[in-house]
Structures are given as C-alpha cells and as structure tokens.
Structure 1
Amino acid sequence: MSEPVSEAAAAVAADLPLAGVRVLDLSRILAGPWCAQVLGDFGADVVKVEHPERGDDTRDWGLRTGATNTSYFDAVNRNKSSVAIDLSTPEGLARVKAMARESDVVIENFKTGGADRLGLGYDALSRENPGLIYCSITGYGSGGPEATRPGYDLLVQGEAGLMALNGEAGQPPLKFGVAAVDLFTGQYAAQAVLAALYQRTRTGKGRRLELALFDCGLAITSYYGLEALVQGEDPPRYGNAHPSIVPYGVFEAADGPLVITVGNNAQFRRFCVGVIGRPELPDDPRFATNLERSRNRDVLLPQLRAELLKHHRADLLARLRAEGIPAGEVLGLHQALTSERAAAAGMVVETPGESAPRWVLAPPYRLDGRRLPVRALPPPLGS
C-alpha cells in the first residue's frame, strides 16, 4: 500500500464496513476504477493491476502530480495499492489468477471476450472461487449486436440523448462538464457489487454482474427521458433553468450571478414581497401557481430579471435567506474547492508532494457523523 495520509486514518480502517473484503481491480480509465475506489473508500483492500511500463491510461491524462501520477488518475484511485503485472506473459497471468482465488470481488472492463481469452473470465475464475463477485463494465452489453464495439463516455452522451437535453435552447448539443456516464456507471457498479456481497452472506455464492455504459446513460436521462416518451419528441432545453419549476435557476444581480430556487407558491409570495418588492405578482392569475408560472415563464421571467439587476448579490442573498428561500452564489471551481465551506466539510485533502502540494478529494460519505478517511493516496505505479 502507498503511505497512509495519517495514522489516525489508518487506525479506523478496521472499523469500516468493507474491512477484510479483497478487491482485484483489473479495470482502467474511469468507470471501473471509480467502482473500485468506492469499495476502497468503504474499507476494502483494493489492488489495482497495471501494465508495468505505461500503467493505467489515465497516468498520462490531466496534470502531472508525481513521477507516475496525474490529476486524472488521482481522482479515481485513492485508497488502493498498485501492482505492476504484464498480462501478456504466462507468469503475469498465473499471478493474477492466484490473486483472484483470494479475492472477494473482481472488476474488469476488457473488450468483450478479452478476459475469457486470457483465462480471466467469470467462468474460469469462479470455478476456483465460487464465492467470487465478478463485475464487468462494457460499452453496450456483452450479448447485444454492438457487444464488440468500444464504449466511451462522449459517444454514449451523444447516443443516449444526454447531449440533446443539455445546454441552452437553440444551441448545438452540449456534453456534460465531467464524464457523467462513466461516473454514474462506476457508482451503479459499486451498488451492484455491494448488493451481491450482501446476498453472499446468505447464500455463500458469488454473482456475475455487468454494467453497460449505454444502459447507464439512458438511466440518467431520468425525468427528461420519461417526458420525451410522453411527448413523443425531445423536451425543450432550458439551460440553467428548471423544466418544471419557475423561478428556479441562475439569475444576474448587479454584480454577478446567483442561484435562486423558489420551490413552492408560498416561497414565491415571500420572494415577490420580501426580496424584489413586487407584491402584486403572486395575485396575478398567470403567476399564482407553479403550473401557471411555468406556462407563462416568458412573461414572468423578464420582470424578475429586471428587478434582480437592481440589487447587489450580497443584498439579495441576505433577503432570500431571511425569507427562507434557498439561494447561493455561483462560484468558480477553484473558488468552490478553496472555500470555507469546502474546508469545513473536509472534502479536500492536501499533502506534501514530490515538488509541490498534492491534493485529493475525500470520500463524500459520512458514517456515524465521521467522514470516511483517505487512508492512502493514489499509488505510484507498482506500489
């Protein structure tokens, strides 16, 4: 394992929910490593197998944070150790098979059929380890007509309709700022592994799990996806606004943007009376209910924007909070990560690096009021 961030963090490892669970991470890039990282966050002993020379592809993506580490790799490989093994050699394969016999979970995202050709598929490994939870991540499913097609986040964002629902009306399709399909697929995969581990406590038997990027891409269209089916066409795109709630979105004050979320009719009345000084608006039949405000947003929103531009952001935020209306600033990413709020949450862990400070995000989970620790930084290749 790489060096623990602190002795205190290491001391709580034995009390974590997955302490004693062994995970063999044969995956690379994002979705599979994210799944393994989630399990590591909950205390599993995660060993990541990498090519001895190049390692995971993401060791060459993002910004350099160490001799073999980058910001991209670090984002999805905390709480793991790394072992360098060449799977093209008989010795390397034999070593990985031996590790699989001693593992509770295997995570892989080889091209369809690749694991089987290496003797690392579920059938081969489960014969020697019947309790093995084997999780495969594919692009389009291993049994369909596109089984051999490589899956990439951006492709699926386009093919699952996600780019079509993102961005402003009248503008070209827009991808999400992060690889949302990969990240959700990794999270779904971790949930499936946890369910299978729980079932194994009753049956003693392992399971073969499979998550496809395309399936997960469709899943996260959520209410937008169902609206498209009901309407028989694409729903309108609203950018930073909400498709069903008005006013709800990003608005400009005199000195910058802020988020305002007016969630019900009582809040709308308080917003009009106590924040923008337009007490007549809630009594207008066009704006009295959220359904009517949504239908008449093109009439209402210009009036609200004009009133908000008369005030500075700090003044508006103070009024909104006094009226019990959720609101907040729109911060830059660096501002958000270095804010007092992020520091109080303990979400950013800073440690000395080889030539400069090194950062890693902490797990977002709290158990019994305590955040799960970063027990080990993302490891250098082979350590």
Structure 2
Amino acid sequence: MRPLEGIKVLDLTRALAGPFCATMLGDYGADVIKIERPGAGDDTRGWGPPFIGEESAYFLSVNRNKRSLTLNLRDEQAQQIFLKLAADADVIVENFTPDVMTNFNLGYEDMKKVNPGIVYCSISGFGASGPYRDRPAYDQIMQGVSGLMSITGDLGGDPQKVGIAVTDIGAGMWAAFAVMAALFHRNSPSGNGEGQYIDLSMLDAQIAWMTYQAGYYFATGDAPQRLGAAHPTLVPYQGFKGGDGKFFNVAVGSERLWERFCRGIDRTELKDDPDYATNGDRVNHRSQLVQMLEEHFRSKDADDWVADLQAVSVPAGPINDLKDVFNDPQVQHREMLLEMPHPTLGSIQQTGLPIKFSATPGELEKHPPLLGEHNRQILNDLGYPDAEIDQMATSGVI
C-alpha cells in the first residue's frame, strides 16, 4: 500500500502550481483524474520547444501518475459527469481565477451538497479575497510582487528571477500539505467526516517562504538587498571561482567551521586576525575578506578546493549544471533520476520521489497521460455505455 491509496483526486489544474500539487498526491498513491479541455488540454501540452516526440517536455515533467479525462465544463452534460465523479471523490484541486468554478455551478458550495466530505482546494495568484483577487498571475509576476526578485541577483545589479518557477512550485507544495491536513482533520474524531474549502494564494505562499529575510526587515525596518551568491549574515558563505573558471560553494556557519576553513585553505593566520575573529567581524569586513579569498582561490582548481575543504569537514561543493546533477553518484543512488514507459515515446526520464517512506513508498505507476487517454475507462466506470461515450465525443462534451 502506498500512503494515499484509496484517495480520489479530481485535478482541474493547468500550468504548474496545481499540476505539481496533484502530482505529489499521485506519486504517493492517490487516484488523480486530470480533467482537461477537449481538443486542447492543459496549456503546457503546447509549451515548447523542447518536445520529446510530440509531447511537451514541460508537461511531461509535472503530470505523471494521473489519468486524463476531457470535459467541456461549459456543457451541462459535462457538468453532470463532473458531479458524478465528485460524489465519491475526496479532493478537488483547481487553479482557475476566482468565481470560474462557481459560474459553472461547480464551486465548493455546490460540491458540498453532493459530497459533504469533499476537500476543495483553490489555487490562485492573489487568493479568493482582497483588492487583487481578480488579477491574472504567472510565476514571474508573483516573484516580483512577493519581493523575491528584490533579494535575488548581484549586489548593485538588476533584480533577477529564480531559475525555476519557485512561486508556482511552492504554492503547489503548500497546497499538497493543505490537502493532507484537511484530510487528516476530516478523518479525525473532531472532523466528523466533513471536508472544507482551501483558499491558497501564490502570493501568500511565497511570502511565507521569506522567513529570515522577512525577519531581517522586521528587526531593522530596512528592506534586505541583493547579495548575489553571498549570505546576508554569514561570511564566508557564498560561491567562489577556482583557477579553472569553475565555481564552488563554501558555507562557514560557525566559528568552529571558520577555524577548519582556515586550515583547509592553508591560511591559518586568518584565524587569529582580529578583523575576522568572529562572524560579526567577518560580516563587517566582508568586502576585504571576500576579495582576499577570491584571489587565493585562483591558485587551484575548484574541485581541488572542494576536496581540501571536505577533508576538514567544512561544507563545500561544486556548483553543478543539470548534466552534472543527474550524473552524480549520490543523486543516482537516491534514485532521483528514474525512467518509466510511455505509450508513444518508449520511455521517458523523470525526477525521482524525494520522500522515502519505509513502509509505504510511492512509485511512478502511470505515465503522463495522453489527452483524453482515459475517457472511456473513467466514463465506463461511471456507468456510461460505449455508444453514449461516442456520442459525447462527437458532440464535444468530451
């Protein structure tokens, strides 16, 4: 048994935040039915290049462990099909702009009448309330609005976005956590079997991730500034370049590590220099210390420095590209690169499952579905005969 065996999820999401949430649930055993627009599907089916065959690499990356059902939710018959699905579902996840589902008569209040135990999670850019509720949102917009871009980039340089859509992915992770919390409450004695509505905002989710940077603002009243690869309160704690032009990271997070660091780079005299005696001293003299270290690190290749520092138990590591990452022996040992069969592509590579349960592990059971691949299977299970399914396909219901 996987931990979410028996949980049925109706996934009405597209792009990234919602699909990532539903994939997390599917990876650990939930039966996820991805409901898509007939003829078009999730927007990301067309996001490319790159494509693998005719499939978008983007879509393939966040839609495994799902079955695909096409429904034109503007059609009354399609709405009735959705209601039948919802009657014994556990979870609905959607990321339309607020009120879209209500306008289809498929909002939470409608679903609660059909299934009082439903957990209904709505993911949107700004949430279901407030002055910005109707604004459209994509990840880059939210990285800017949330303040994330203001602290990302080089000192004195332009604001930069993070290299992956962390506001989308973070919202998806918060949503998966919220769904699990709501299911736990529903199934507890105090929950009485009742579901609830979850209002998940990408803005809220990203601000919650600001943690210590927000703490610095609360403490000083000053907005934190961009520091490139450096840390605002620890020195040296950043990236450096070796003599071969490759970059590596160093993380000196304590005075004990500072002493080891000085030994590891063969500069023990720095340990006794009053300008660098404590982390506070090093922060106050950041620019001169970093400049000195940058010059010193040009004397050897990056991998050699990493080996020297690791030999004295100082956290250090290469700055890998993704080719390096997926050829790394630790990554491979942890099964974070997997392959799974696909009906039109032979096999595809996928990132592995990050949570390793001892008793109920997840698995890559279902390939990212073809558009409408499971229409007949799902509708047959609901009691629709093949002839009626053919008629619905012809008339555009599915």
Distance in 1 between residues matched to 2:160 and 2:307, nearest whole Å? 34
Report the secondary structure of 1:336's partner residue: helix
Preserved CA contact (<8 Å) 1:364 1:371: no
**Residue ranges of structure 1 left out of the alignment (5+ in a row):** 1-14
- Which of 261, 279, 285 is residue 271 of structure 1 equivalent to? 261
- Which of 303, 309, 312 is residue 320 of structure 1 equivalent to? 309
Distance in 2 between residues matched to 1:121 and 1:352, nearest whole Å? 36
- Which of 3, 12, 17 is residue 3 of structure 2 equivalent to? 17
Worse overlay, 352-361 or 147-156: 352-361
What is the alpha-carbon root mean square deviation over aligned residues?
A: 1.6
Distance in 1 between residues matched to 2:238 and 2:215, nearest whole Å? 22
Distance in 2 between residues matched to 1:357 and 1:378, nearest whole Å? 11
Query: Is residue 2:248 matched to residue 1:258?
Result: yes
Matches within 5 A, 1:218-233: 218-233=207-222
Matches within 5 A, 1:1-383: 15-62=1-48, 63-67=50-54, 69-202=55-188, 203=191, 204-255=193-244, 256-273=246-263, 275-351=264-340, 354=344, 357-368=347-358, 372-383=362-373
Aligned residues: 367
Residue 66 of structure 1 deviates from its aligned partner by 4.3
Distance in 1 between residues matched to 2:66 and 2:332, nearest whole Å? 24
Distance in 1 between residues matched to 2:45 and 2:197, nearest whole Å? 29
CA deviations 1:20-48 (Å, max 9, x no partner) are 00000011111111111111112111000
Distance in 1 between residues matched to 2:153 and 2:359, nearest whole Å? 37
Distance in 1 between residues matched to 2:4 and 2:346, nearest whole Å? 33
Identity %: 38
Distance in 2 between residues matched to 1:248 and 1:263, nearest whole Å? 7
Preserved CA contact (<8 Å) 1:364 1:372: no
Residue 201 of structure 1 deviates from its aligned partner by 0.9
Residue 355 of structure 1 deviates from its aligned partner by 5.2
Distance in 2 between residues matched to 1:355 and 1:45, nearest whole Å? 23
Distance in 1 between residues matched to 2:235 and 2:260, nearest whole Å? 14
Q: Could you say if the C-alpha distance between residues 160 and 355 of structure 1 is closer, same or farther in structure 2, counting changes exceeding 3 Å?
A: closer
Report the secondary structure of 1:144's partner residue: coil
Residue 90 of structure 1 deviates from its aligned partner by 1.4
Distance in 2 between residues matched to 1:233 and 1:271, nearest whole Å? 32
CA deviations 1:42-62 (Å, max 9, x no partner) are 211100000110100010113
Residue 312 of structure 1 deviates from its aligned partner by 2.1
CA deviations 1:164-222 (Å, max 9, x no partner) are 11011111111111111110001001101000000111221101111011111222222
Preserved CA contact (<8 Å) 2:340 2:367: no
Distance in 2 between residues matched to 1:141 and 1:365, nearest whole Å? 29
Q: Could you say if the C-alpha distance between residues 100 and 352 of structure 1 is closer, same or farther in structure 2, counting changes exceeding 3 Å?
A: closer
Worse overlay, 311-320 or 301-310: 311-320
Preserved CA contact (<8 Å) 1:109 1:136: yes
Q: Tell me what 1:8 maps to.
A: none
CA deviations 1:54-79 (Å, max 9, x no partner) are 10001011322244x31111121111
Distance in 2 between residues matched to 1:71 and 1:93, nearest whole Å? 31
Report the secondary structure of 1:366's partner residue: coil
TM-score by length of 1: 0.92
Preserved CA contact (<8 Å) 1:360 1:377: no
Preserved CA contact (<8 Å) 1:141 1:210: yes
CA deviations 1:353-377 (Å, max 9, x no partner) are 5457521112211001886311112
Distance in 2 between residues matched to 1:315 and 1:377, nearest whole Å? 42
Residue 282 of structure 1 deviates from its aligned partner by 1.1
Preserved CA contact (<8 Å) 2:3 2:361: no
Q: Could you say if the C-alpha distance between residues 167 and 278 of structure 1 is closer, same or farther in structure 2, counting changes exceeding 3 Å?
A: same
Distance in 2 between residues matched to 1:214 and 1:228, nearest whole Å? 18
Distance in 2 between residues matched to 1:17 and 1:372, nearest whole Å? 8
One-letter amino acid matched to 2:369: P
Preserved CA contact (<8 Å) 1:363 1:371: no
Residue 276 of structure 1 deviates from its aligned partner by 2.0
Report the secondary structure of 2:240's partner residue: strand
One-letter amino acid matched to 1:71: A
The structure 1 segments of at least 4 consecutive aligned residues displaced by more than 3 Å after TM superposition are 351-357
